[in-house]
């Protein structure tokens, strides 16, 4: 079991505090294991014991009878001992319980429980929790393994991969923890990822939103996967579907994309006008919650490496707590603007700086940004000049393995 230290550090300040700790992330990203790591931390550092820990996992048949908020409330109250000062309550995949937020609000108000919940749906916070419990929760956004975690686990497992071989596996298979329990055979890993993909699409999209045209959803999903990292729009997707002799409205495309983002399967990254200092309302980019889903659905191809590399860097930035946008500088594009507190970074990502034309293209947009914040170019090259007009270059793999960004 790999300790998810960055998330442990995020949750520590809120242990024992009267706020709900909500851990969100796509299915199988490691939320259940992380809950166990919190429990271990409570037992070792906070003198908690099994008698004052309640754990509910809605993916287990054992808890199938907890279907509504009333079931949840009655179950928890039956487990709380009268003389206990505080009970640590853990609920995994809480979105499977109808109107769960009512029980959680009541338990929080009673001040007897330190509450930790997980969910695989963005609506867990964007509507129910944020509306009902505004100011009384913190969100821990969990990603699948970063490359640094992936490499650490391959080292511990004895696979003995070099950095290059580990990265080639990562860009192909992605960062879902479950793949490390398999033999690394393309057929086996792809079957695992395909099954996971189908579960997310079926449970968190088709069933939740009562979608009747699942085939259309699949077409739109595969379009997003194929165009990962490219500027896109609902109009473009609608036109593409029509070119396949099928009809779909722009509104349907927009709805289906929002469902995929709500299921945390995809991220919509908006464009920001750097000169005008405003968000733009169209032509955003979409990225996957894990690059392995490309291999699972349309297969791995070197032709898509640019989008894959951007996707990996995006997930790295999100895992480090950055808020991310695409940058627009007049007619030029900056791959990512990453912000965290007063910290800001501008990043360009490419596979290689093979000639002066590519160098000019990748560096020009950064050169035009006239402020003191760091500007970085990432590529897979080795030994490139690390200082070019004040812009820093890093080998992308080395950058991902660093404990700090700069």
Placement of tokens 């896109």 in the chain: 232
Per-residue pLDDT tens for 356-398?
999 998 999 999 998 999 999 999 999 887 777 889 999 999 9
**What pTM does this model have?**
0.94
Q: What is the pLDDT of residue 248?
A: 93
Same structural domain for residues 150 and 137?
Answer: no
Please list the helix, strand and coil fractions of the chain in percent, rounded to the nearest 5, in that order: 45, 20, 35
Same structural domain for residues 120 and 165?
Answer: no
Same structural domain for residues 262 and 323?
Answer: yes
Chain-centroid distance of CA 54 in Å reads 27
Q: What is the pLDDT of residue 307?
A: 95
Same structural domain for residues 226 and 352?
Answer: yes
Those residues with Cβ within 8 angstroms of residue 120's Cβ, 6 or more apart along the chain or in another chain: 24, 25, 26, 27, 31, 93, 95, 200, 204, 263, 264
Q: What is the pLDDT of residue 330?
A: 81
Q: Which helix (H) or strand (E) holds 119?
A: strand 113-119
Same structural domain for residues 136 and 207?
Answer: no
Q: How far apart are CA 268 and CA 275, in angstroms?
A: 22
Q: What is the pLDDT of residue 24?
A: 93
Three-state SS string across 123-151, please?
HHHHHHHHHHCCCCEEEEECCCCCHHHHH
Q: What is the pLDDT of residue 71?
A: 98
| End-of-domain residue from the set 119, 141, 163 | 141
| End-of-domain residue from the set 124, 141, 158 | 141
Helices (H), 349-389: 356-367
Q: What is the pLDDT of residue 389?
A: 81
Same structural domain for residues 135 and 152?
Answer: no
| End-of-domain residue from the set 141, 173, 205 | 141
Give the residue from 40, 58, 60 showing the smallest Cα distance to 49: 40
19: CATH: 3.40.50.300
Those residues with Cβ within 8 angstroms of residue 265's Cβ, 6 or more apart along the chain or in another chain: 26, 200, 201, 204, 205, 221, 288, 289, 293
Those residues with Cβ within 8 angstroms of residue 97's Cβ, 6 or more apart along the chain or in another chain: 58, 66, 67, 68, 69, 71, 72, 91, 103
Q: What is the pLDDT of residue 62?
A: 96
Same structural domain for residues 190 and 240?
Answer: yes
Q: Which helix (H) or strand (E) holds 335?
A: strand 332-340
Q: What is the pLDDT of residue 123?
A: 72
Q: What is the pLDDT of residue 158?
A: 86
Q: What is the pLDDT of residue 159?
A: 86
Q: How far apart are CA 351 and CA 396, in angstroms?
A: 9
The DSSP symbol for 373 reads: S
Q: What angle do CA 330, 335, 340 make, to 5 degrees?
A: 105
Provide the β-strand partners of residue 53.
88
Same structural domain for residues 163 and 88?
Answer: no
Residue 66: give the domain boundaries.
5-141
Backbone angles phi, psi at 42, to 5 degrees: -65, -40
Same structural domain for residues 362 and 393?
Answer: yes
Same structural domain for residues 54 and 168?
Answer: no
Task: Count CB-CB contacts under 10 A for residue 404.
Answer: 5
Those residues with Cβ within 8 angstroms of residue 191's Cβ, 6 or more apart along the chain or in another chain: none
Q: Give pLDDT < 70 ranges for the chain.
A: 82-83, 125-128
Buried b (16+ CB within 10 A) or exposed e, 235-250: eebbebbeeeeeebee
Same structural domain for residues 338 and 387?
Answer: yes
Instruction: Look up residue 387 and give its two tokens.
Output: 């200082």
Same structural domain for residues 394 and 351?
Answer: yes
Count of structural domains, the chain? 2
């Amino acid at each position: 079991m790999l300790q998810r230290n960055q998330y442990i550090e995020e949750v520590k300040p809120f242990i024992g505090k009267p706020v709900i700790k909500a851990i969100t992330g796509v299915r199988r990203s490691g939320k259940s294991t992380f809950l166990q790591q919190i429990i271990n931390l409570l037992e070792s550092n906070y003198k908690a014991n099994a008698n004052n820990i309640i754990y509910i996992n809605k993916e287990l048949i054992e808890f199938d009878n907890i279907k509504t908020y009333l079931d949840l409330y009655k179950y928890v109250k039956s487990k709380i001992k009268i003389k206990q000062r505080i009970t640590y309550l853990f609920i995994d995949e809480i979105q499977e319980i109808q109107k769960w937020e009512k029980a959680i609000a009541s338990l929080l108000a009673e001040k007897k429980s330190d509450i930790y919940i997980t969910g695989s749906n963005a609506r867990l916070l964007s509507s129910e929790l944020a509306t009902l419990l505004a100011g009384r929760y913190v969100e821990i956004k969990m990603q699948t393994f970063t490359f640094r975690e992936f490499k650490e686990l391959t080292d511990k497992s004895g696979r003995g991969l070099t950095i290059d071989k580990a990265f080639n596996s990562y860009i192909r298979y992605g960062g879902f923890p479950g793949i490390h329990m398999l033999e690394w055979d393309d057929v086996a890993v792809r079957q695992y990822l395909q099954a996971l993909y189908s579960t997310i699409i079926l449970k968190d999209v088709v069933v939740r939103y009562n979608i009747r045209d699942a085939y259309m959803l699949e077409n739109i999903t595969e379009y997003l996967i194929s165009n990962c990292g490219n500027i896109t729009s609902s109009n473009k997707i609608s036109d593409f579907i029509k070119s396949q002799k099928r009809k779909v409205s722009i509104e349907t495309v927009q709805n289906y994309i929002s469902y995929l983002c709500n299921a945390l399967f995809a991220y919509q990254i908006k464009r920001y006008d750097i000169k005008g200092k405003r968000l733009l309302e169209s032509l955003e980019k979409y990225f996957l919650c894990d690059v392995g889903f490309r291999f699972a659905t349309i297969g791995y191809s070197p032709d898509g490496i640019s989008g894959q590399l951007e996707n990996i860097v995006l997930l790295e930035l999100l895992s480090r707590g950055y808020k991310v946008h695409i940058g627009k500088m007049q007619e030029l594009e900056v791959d990512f603007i990453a912000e965290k507190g007063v910290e800001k970074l501008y990043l360009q990502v490419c596979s290689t700086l093979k000639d002066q034309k590519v160098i000019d293209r990748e560096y020009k947009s950064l050169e035009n940004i006239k402020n003191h914040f760091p500007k970085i170019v990432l590529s897979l090259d080795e030994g490139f000049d690390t200082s070019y007009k004040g812009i820093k270059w890093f080998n992308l793999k080395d950058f991902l393995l660093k404990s700090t960004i700069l």
